[in-house]
Amino acid sequence: MATLHTGDISLHVQRLRPSKGRAPIGTALLLHGLFTDSLASYYFTLAPALAAVGFDVVMYDHRGHGRSDRPLSGYHLDAFITDLDDVISHLGISGPVHLVGNSYGGTVAFGYAVRRPERTSSLLVIESEPATEAWARKMRCLFPRITTELCEDEARALSEITSHYDPRTARLAKSAARLARETTILQDIPASTVLTEAQIQSVSCPVLAVYGGDGDLVAQAPRLNALLSDCRTTIVPGHEHSVLIEAPKLLRALAVSWLCGTGTGTHGSLETEDS
Protein backbone atom coordinates (compact mmCIF):
# COMPACT_ATOMS: atom_id res chain seq x y z
CA MET A 1 0.00 0.00 0.00
CA ALA A 2 1.25 3.51 -0.82
CA THR A 3 0.00 7.07 -0.64
CA LEU A 4 0.87 9.17 -3.64
CA HIS A 5 0.94 12.94 -3.08
CA THR A 6 0.35 14.71 -6.38
CA GLY A 7 0.55 18.21 -4.93
CA ASP A 8 -3.22 18.63 -5.32
CA ILE A 9 -4.43 15.49 -3.58
CA SER A 10 -3.25 12.29 -1.90
CA LEU A 11 -4.28 9.08 -3.65
CA HIS A 12 -4.18 5.53 -2.32
CA VAL A 13 -2.23 3.41 -4.82
CA GLN A 14 -1.59 -0.33 -5.02
CA ARG A 15 0.81 -2.02 -7.41
CA LEU A 16 1.17 -5.68 -8.35
CA ARG A 17 4.36 -6.48 -10.24
CA PRO A 18 5.29 -9.60 -12.20
CA SER A 19 7.17 -12.33 -10.36
CA LYS A 20 10.66 -11.43 -9.15
CA GLY A 21 13.25 -11.21 -11.88
CA ARG A 22 10.68 -11.05 -14.68
CA ALA A 23 10.58 -7.93 -16.82
CA PRO A 24 7.03 -6.61 -17.25
CA ILE A 25 5.47 -6.93 -20.68
CA GLY A 26 3.57 -3.69 -20.15
CA THR A 27 1.71 -1.58 -17.60
CA ALA A 28 -2.00 -2.13 -16.94
CA LEU A 29 -3.69 0.70 -15.06
CA LEU A 30 -7.06 -0.24 -13.56
CA LEU A 31 -9.75 2.40 -12.95
CA HIS A 32 -12.80 1.66 -10.81
CA GLY A 33 -16.32 3.09 -10.83
CA LEU A 34 -18.11 5.65 -8.68
CA PHE A 35 -19.58 5.71 -5.17
CA THR A 36 -19.68 2.08 -3.97
CA ASP A 37 -16.56 1.02 -5.86
CA SER A 38 -12.83 1.15 -5.07
CA LEU A 39 -9.60 -0.43 -6.23
CA ALA A 40 -10.47 -3.44 -4.04
CA SER A 41 -12.88 -4.71 -6.69
CA TYR A 42 -9.91 -5.42 -8.96
CA TYR A 43 -8.06 -7.42 -6.29
CA PHE A 44 -10.70 -10.12 -6.54
CA THR A 45 -11.14 -10.00 -10.30
CA LEU A 46 -8.51 -8.88 -12.80
CA ALA A 47 -5.36 -7.65 -11.04
CA PRO A 48 -3.73 -10.93 -9.91
CA ALA A 49 -4.33 -12.60 -13.28
CA LEU A 50 -2.76 -9.70 -15.19
CA ALA A 51 0.27 -9.64 -12.89
CA ALA A 52 0.62 -13.42 -13.26
CA VAL A 53 1.02 -13.16 -17.05
CA GLY A 54 3.62 -10.41 -16.77
CA PHE A 55 1.94 -7.01 -16.47
CA ASP A 56 2.93 -4.30 -14.02
CA VAL A 57 -0.53 -3.66 -12.55
CA VAL A 58 -1.36 -0.29 -10.99
CA MET A 59 -4.61 0.49 -9.16
CA TYR A 60 -5.68 3.53 -7.19
CA ASP A 61 -8.75 4.84 -5.38
CA HIS A 62 -10.33 7.79 -7.18
CA ARG A 63 -10.54 11.05 -5.29
CA GLY A 64 -13.31 10.81 -2.71
CA HIS A 65 -13.20 7.00 -2.72
CA GLY A 66 -11.55 4.29 -0.67
CA ARG A 67 -8.47 5.54 1.15
CA SER A 68 -7.80 8.52 -1.10
CA ASP A 69 -8.46 12.11 0.00
CA ARG A 70 -12.04 13.35 -0.05
CA PRO A 71 -11.93 17.06 -0.96
CA LEU A 72 -15.13 19.08 -0.56
CA SER A 73 -15.14 20.02 -4.25
CA GLY A 74 -13.28 19.34 -7.48
CA TYR A 75 -15.08 16.30 -8.95
CA HIS A 76 -15.43 17.29 -12.59
CA LEU A 77 -14.33 14.61 -15.05
CA ASP A 78 -11.23 16.61 -15.99
CA ALA A 79 -10.02 16.34 -12.38
CA PHE A 80 -10.22 12.53 -12.51
CA ILE A 81 -8.33 12.52 -15.82
CA THR A 82 -5.66 14.77 -14.31
CA ASP A 83 -5.37 12.40 -11.32
CA LEU A 84 -4.69 9.54 -13.74
CA ASP A 85 -2.05 11.60 -15.53
CA ASP A 86 -0.45 12.47 -12.19
CA VAL A 87 -0.36 8.84 -11.05
CA ILE A 88 1.43 7.80 -14.24
CA SER A 89 3.90 10.69 -13.97
CA HIS A 90 4.63 10.36 -10.25
CA LEU A 91 5.20 6.61 -10.52
CA GLY A 92 7.68 7.19 -13.32
CA ILE A 93 5.87 4.88 -15.72
CA SER A 94 7.54 5.05 -19.11
CA GLY A 95 5.88 4.15 -22.35
CA PRO A 96 2.19 3.88 -23.18
CA VAL A 97 -0.14 2.17 -20.70
CA HIS A 98 -3.08 -0.18 -21.09
CA LEU A 99 -6.13 1.35 -19.40
CA VAL A 100 -8.85 -0.86 -17.93
CA GLY A 101 -11.93 1.02 -16.76
CA ASN A 102 -15.09 -0.25 -15.12
CA SER A 103 -18.18 2.00 -15.40
CA TYR A 104 -17.03 5.60 -14.67
CA GLY A 105 -13.44 4.35 -14.78
CA GLY A 106 -13.96 3.66 -18.47
CA THR A 107 -15.25 7.20 -18.99
CA VAL A 108 -12.05 8.48 -17.38
CA ALA A 109 -10.02 6.16 -19.63
CA PHE A 110 -11.71 7.50 -22.78
CA GLY A 111 -10.99 11.06 -21.64
CA TYR A 112 -7.35 10.22 -21.02
CA ALA A 113 -6.99 8.58 -24.44
CA VAL A 114 -8.23 11.83 -26.02
CA ARG A 115 -5.96 14.02 -23.88
CA ARG A 116 -2.89 11.77 -24.01
CA PRO A 117 -3.05 9.56 -27.10
CA GLU A 118 0.72 9.08 -27.08
CA ARG A 119 0.55 7.58 -23.56
CA THR A 120 -2.37 5.20 -24.23
CA SER A 121 -1.61 1.75 -25.61
CA SER A 122 -5.13 0.29 -25.45
CA LEU A 123 -8.49 0.59 -23.71
CA LEU A 124 -10.55 -2.16 -22.11
CA VAL A 125 -13.80 -0.59 -20.89
CA ILE A 126 -16.44 -2.53 -18.99
CA GLU A 127 -20.03 -1.29 -18.87
CA SER A 128 -18.85 2.17 -19.81
CA GLU A 129 -19.14 4.95 -22.37
CA PRO A 130 -17.31 8.15 -23.28
CA ALA A 131 -18.48 11.44 -21.81
CA THR A 132 -20.86 12.83 -24.42
CA GLU A 133 -23.75 15.26 -24.10
CA ALA A 134 -26.08 12.25 -23.93
CA TRP A 135 -23.96 10.88 -21.08
CA ALA A 136 -24.17 14.20 -19.23
CA ARG A 137 -27.98 14.25 -19.62
CA LYS A 138 -28.11 10.74 -18.21
CA MET A 139 -26.02 11.82 -15.21
CA ARG A 140 -28.29 14.82 -14.64
CA CYS A 141 -31.28 12.45 -14.49
CA LEU A 142 -29.56 9.77 -12.41
CA PHE A 143 -27.89 11.88 -9.74
CA PRO A 144 -31.09 13.37 -8.24
CA ARG A 145 -32.15 9.78 -7.49
CA ILE A 146 -28.86 9.25 -5.67
CA THR A 147 -29.56 12.42 -3.68
CA THR A 148 -32.95 11.07 -2.66
CA GLU A 149 -31.88 7.51 -1.94
CA LEU A 150 -28.52 8.10 -0.26
CA CYS A 151 -28.84 11.56 1.24
CA GLU A 152 -32.45 12.38 2.04
CA ASP A 153 -33.39 8.92 3.30
CA GLU A 154 -29.97 7.55 4.18
CA ALA A 155 -31.04 5.56 7.25
CA ARG A 156 -33.70 3.61 5.36
CA ALA A 157 -31.43 2.99 2.37
CA LEU A 158 -28.57 1.73 4.53
CA SER A 159 -30.94 -0.48 6.51
CA GLU A 160 -32.19 -2.13 3.32
CA ILE A 161 -28.67 -2.61 2.00
CA THR A 162 -27.50 -4.11 5.29
CA SER A 163 -30.37 -6.58 5.34
CA HIS A 164 -29.89 -7.74 1.74
CA TYR A 165 -26.11 -7.63 1.25
CA ASP A 166 -22.85 -8.41 3.04
CA PRO A 167 -21.22 -6.05 5.58
CA ARG A 168 -18.63 -4.83 3.04
CA THR A 169 -21.39 -3.62 0.69
CA ALA A 170 -23.07 -1.86 3.60
CA ARG A 171 -19.80 -0.09 4.49
CA LEU A 172 -19.33 0.99 0.89
CA ALA A 173 -22.88 2.32 0.75
CA LYS A 174 -22.34 4.32 3.93
CA SER A 175 -19.15 5.81 2.50
CA ALA A 176 -20.97 6.61 -0.77
CA ALA A 177 -23.70 8.41 1.17
CA ARG A 178 -21.10 10.60 2.88
CA LEU A 179 -19.43 11.36 -0.44
CA ALA A 180 -22.75 12.36 -1.99
CA ARG A 181 -23.85 14.38 1.04
CA GLU A 182 -20.61 16.16 1.97
CA THR A 183 -19.04 17.03 -1.39
CA THR A 184 -20.01 18.61 -4.70
CA ILE A 185 -19.63 15.38 -6.69
CA LEU A 186 -23.35 15.20 -7.57
CA GLN A 187 -23.17 18.68 -9.06
CA ASP A 188 -19.70 18.45 -10.62
CA ILE A 189 -19.89 15.27 -12.67
CA PRO A 190 -23.05 16.16 -14.67
CA ALA A 191 -21.52 19.60 -15.34
CA SER A 192 -18.27 18.14 -16.72
CA THR A 193 -16.89 19.09 -20.11
CA VAL A 194 -17.93 16.43 -22.61
CA LEU A 195 -16.24 15.04 -25.70
CA THR A 196 -17.24 15.91 -29.23
CA GLU A 197 -17.82 13.18 -31.79
CA ALA A 198 -14.59 14.23 -33.50
CA GLN A 199 -12.65 13.83 -30.27
CA ILE A 200 -14.05 10.33 -29.72
CA GLN A 201 -13.17 9.42 -33.30
CA SER A 202 -9.61 10.58 -32.63
CA VAL A 203 -9.07 7.62 -30.28
CA SER A 204 -6.92 5.41 -32.51
CA CYS A 205 -5.61 2.86 -30.00
CA PRO A 206 -7.27 -0.59 -29.87
CA VAL A 207 -10.48 -0.58 -27.80
CA LEU A 208 -12.40 -3.52 -26.34
CA ALA A 209 -15.79 -2.63 -24.84
CA VAL A 210 -17.58 -5.24 -22.71
CA TYR A 211 -21.27 -4.95 -21.86
CA GLY A 212 -23.79 -6.97 -19.89
CA GLY A 213 -26.39 -8.21 -22.34
CA ASP A 214 -29.27 -7.23 -20.06
CA GLY A 215 -27.95 -3.77 -19.18
CA ASP A 216 -28.86 -0.34 -20.51
CA LEU A 217 -25.38 0.37 -21.87
CA VAL A 218 -25.37 -2.51 -24.36
CA ALA A 219 -26.84 -0.03 -26.86
CA GLN A 220 -23.41 1.68 -26.89
CA ALA A 221 -21.82 -1.28 -28.69
CA PRO A 222 -22.85 -0.45 -32.28
CA ARG A 223 -22.17 3.27 -31.73
CA LEU A 224 -18.60 2.65 -30.57
CA ASN A 225 -17.98 0.22 -33.41
CA ALA A 226 -19.11 2.90 -35.85
CA LEU A 227 -17.15 5.76 -34.28
CA LEU A 228 -13.81 4.12 -33.47
CA SER A 229 -11.32 2.91 -36.02
CA ASP A 230 -10.09 -0.06 -33.97
CA CYS A 231 -12.87 -1.28 -31.69
CA ARG A 232 -14.27 -4.63 -30.65
CA THR A 233 -17.31 -5.17 -28.47
CA THR A 234 -18.22 -8.21 -26.40
CA ILE A 235 -21.67 -8.83 -24.93
CA VAL A 236 -22.03 -10.99 -21.81
CA PRO A 237 -25.56 -12.48 -21.78
CA GLY A 238 -27.52 -12.64 -18.56
CA HIS A 239 -25.71 -9.78 -16.82
CA GLU A 240 -26.30 -6.09 -16.26
CA HIS A 241 -24.03 -3.34 -14.93
CA SER A 242 -22.18 -5.49 -12.36
CA VAL A 243 -20.72 -7.89 -14.92
CA LEU A 244 -17.16 -7.42 -13.58
CA ILE A 245 -18.15 -8.70 -10.13
CA GLU A 246 -20.73 -11.25 -11.28
CA ALA A 247 -18.65 -12.89 -14.04
CA PRO A 248 -15.03 -12.52 -12.87
CA LYS A 249 -13.71 -15.70 -14.53
CA LEU A 250 -14.99 -14.60 -17.91
CA LEU A 251 -13.68 -11.05 -17.47
CA ARG A 252 -10.26 -12.34 -16.40
CA ALA A 253 -10.01 -14.45 -19.55
CA LEU A 254 -11.10 -11.51 -21.71
CA ALA A 255 -8.66 -9.10 -20.05
CA VAL A 256 -5.66 -11.43 -20.30
CA SER A 257 -6.42 -12.30 -23.93
CA TRP A 258 -6.98 -8.67 -24.89
CA LEU A 259 -4.02 -7.10 -23.11
CA CYS A 260 -1.60 -9.83 -24.15
CA GLY A 261 -2.81 -9.45 -27.73
CA THR A 262 -2.50 -5.67 -27.83
CA GLY A 263 0.88 -5.94 -26.13
CA THR A 264 2.23 -8.12 -28.92
CA GLY A 265 0.43 -6.44 -31.82
CA THR A 266 -2.35 -9.03 -32.20
CA HIS A 267 -5.80 -9.16 -30.68
CA GLY A 268 -5.99 -12.89 -30.08
CA SER A 269 -9.20 -14.91 -30.27
CA LEU A 270 -10.90 -13.29 -27.25
CA GLU A 271 -12.47 -16.65 -26.48
CA THR A 272 -13.57 -17.11 -22.88
CA GLU A 273 -14.86 -19.81 -20.63
CA ASP A 274 -18.26 -19.59 -19.03
CA SER A 275 -18.35 -17.61 -15.79
CA distance 264 to 218: 29
Query: Are 100 and 29 within 8 A, CB to CB?
Result: yes
- Rounded Cα–Cα distance for residues 186 and 188 (Å): 6
- For domain 2-129+196-264, the question of CATH label 3.40.50.1820 is answered with yes
Per-residue pLDDT tens over the stretch 149-188: 655 555 555 555 455 555 666 677 778 888 988 999 999 9
Closest CA relative to residue 107, chosen from 17, 202, 31, 205:
31
Instruction: Indicate the pLDDT class of residue 243, thresholds 50, 70 and 90.
Output: very high
124-157 pLDDT tens trace: 999 999 999 999 999 999 888 776 665 555 555 5
